[in-house]
Every structure is written in C-alpha cells, then in structure tokens.
Amino acid sequence: MRHRHTTPFEMVEIKLRVRLPIYVARQWVRHRTASINEYSARYSIVPDEFEVPNENEIMGQSESNRQGSEGALPKETTEWFRKEISNISENSYNIYSEALRRGVSKETARIVLPLNTYTEWYWKTNLWNMFHFLSLRMDAHAQREIRAYANTIAEHIVARIAPISYEAFTDFVLGSTSFSKKEKSALSFLIRGKGDLEKACEYAGLKLKKIDGTNMKTGEGVEFAKKIEAIKEKCDTTFS
C-alpha cells in the first residue's frame, strides 16, 4: 500500500447486495471499476419504498462548494420540504400502480417514479478499487447519504475481512496528505522559516485572495491552507 503496488489487493473480490435511493445510486455508478447487476424495473414491480431525509439532514446550499450543502434551515422550510417529498412520492407511486393496472408496460410506467425511490443491485469489485471508492466516499466532501454507506462498508465489511489491508489503507491513504508541486514549494518556504503562510503561498503562486482583495473560498491556495491547519491541529492534539 505504501508503494502503491496494487496487485495483491486486486486478488481479493467483494460482492455486496445494496439497497439505496436512485439519487445515491447515480453517484455510486460513477465508480466504473465494478460489475453491477441492478434490479430491473422493466421486469419486476418496484417496491413502494422511498427516502425521506430527517429535518437535520436538509441543509442550505454551500457557498464554497457548488455541489454541496451546509448550514441549518428554518424549521418551517424543512417540515414543508419533507411533507412535499412524502406527497410526491405517494402520488407518484399511486400513478405508477394505476398505470400498471391499466395495462401500461413496466418499462414505461416506471418513468413517473422520483429519484428518492429505492433500487437494489449486486455490486462486485476488487479490494483495490474498493479502497478507491472508500477514499472518495468517506471524505467529508462526499454527500452525507453515500458517505453513510461507505462508512458502513468500511467498518463492518472491509475492516473485518481484510483487517491488515484496511489498517494499511487508513494509514497510507485516509491518514495521509498529498502535496502538489506548488504546495511543496510553499511547504519548503515554511519549513525554511522564510515567512508565514500568506507569504509562502505568494512565493509558490498559490492564490489566497481575489483581485479585489477579498479572501478566496476555493482554490489550491485555500486547500493548501486547510492542509497546513489540519496538520497543525494534529500536532497540537498529539503533543498537548
């Protein structure tokens, strides 16, 4: 794992049976290094099962991550949204069921079902590609729903069937920090005591501010600053 020799991990195969909402499944299948056999809504009737998030799981749009969420919303907003999800889900399934009763084919009737409908599949991959999946989907930037699946798979399956490999994964992948060429230049600047973080970023060409002087919310410079802060916090915790 330390030297990225993948072959030993490719010899281990894991096959999972997973039930998950369609909108989570659409993220999951972006990992194209697995074999998938999904429940066919053209062949079978879709069960009446939908995902309705809890109130504390419905958050506002993130300002720093265009595909993420953050911050609590007013209670009336979350209650309204949960109610509408339930209404739409129930109404859609009623239409789906009525369409089947009237003789509409399964493959056509299914188009009225929303993204929070549950699907099911068998998902088979080798241990190396499983680790790649976990490294991305256990990350704090991943959507909460798929992160819950990844954490469960890691803790209750992978860590049990391949404990030594999983320990190496947490050490050399999850617990590691990588640096780009510019970031290493800035890090060298800091280690040599040439100046503070802002000067190090300026030296390496890592932007922390916009042209108008306001702080940037995203970008390599911001990410580098977060890496340094995380390392400092780890040091403070370890040696306090």
216 and 110, same structural domain?
no
132 and 29, same structural domain?
yes
pLDDT class of 75 with cuts at 50, 70, 90: very high
Q: Given this model, what pLDDT does residue 240 score?
A: 62
Query: What would the mean pLDDT of 124-132 be, rounded to a whole number?
Result: 98
Distance CA(21)–CA(37), nearest Å, equals 16
Q: Is residue 200 part of a domain?
A: yes
216 and 134, same structural domain?
no
- Report the DSSP beta bridge partners of residue 123: 16, 36
Buried residues in 205-224 as b, exposed as e (16+ CB within 10 A): ebebeeeeeeeeeeebbbeb
Q: Is residue 151 part of a domain?
A: yes
168 and 86, same structural domain?
yes
Nearest to 36 by CA among 136, 157, 148, 119: 119
**Among 119, 146, 174, which residue terminates a domain?**
174
Is it the case that residue 151 has pLDDT exceeding 70? yes
14 and 122, same structural domain?
yes
203 and 121, same structural domain?
no
Nearest to 98 by CA among 114, 115, 113: 113
196 and 102, same structural domain?
no
**Could you tell me the pTM of the whole model?**
0.86
| CATH assignment at residue 148 | 3.30.1360.170
138 and 225, same structural domain?
no
145 and 116, same structural domain?
yes
- Report the DSSP beta bridge partners of residue 19: 120
Cβ atoms within 10 Å of 234's Cβ, excluding its own: 12
In the annotation, is 137 catalytic? yes
Q: Is residue 2 part of a domain?
A: no
**Among 134, 152, 174, which residue terminates a domain?**
174
Q: Is residue 103 part of a domain?
A: yes
Is it the case that residue 236 has pLDDT exceeding 90? no
% of the chain beyond a pLDDT of 70: 98
Q: Is residue 112 part of a domain?
A: yes
203 and 110, same structural domain?
no
Radius of gyration of the chain (CA): 23
pLDDT digits (tens, 9 = 90+) for 181-201: 999 999 999 999 999 999 999
> How many domains does the chain fold into?
2
Q: Is residue 162 part of a domain?
A: yes
| Residue of 137, 147, 160, 192 with catalytic role | 137
Question: Domain span at residue 186?
Answer: 181-239
127 and 145, same structural domain?
yes
192 and 135, same structural domain?
no
Query: What would the mean pLDDT of 211-221 be, rounded to a whole number?
Result: 90
Distance CA(93)–CA(57), nearest Å, equals 24
Q: Is residue 1 part of a domain?
A: no
**Among 174, 191, 208, which residue terminates a domain?**
174
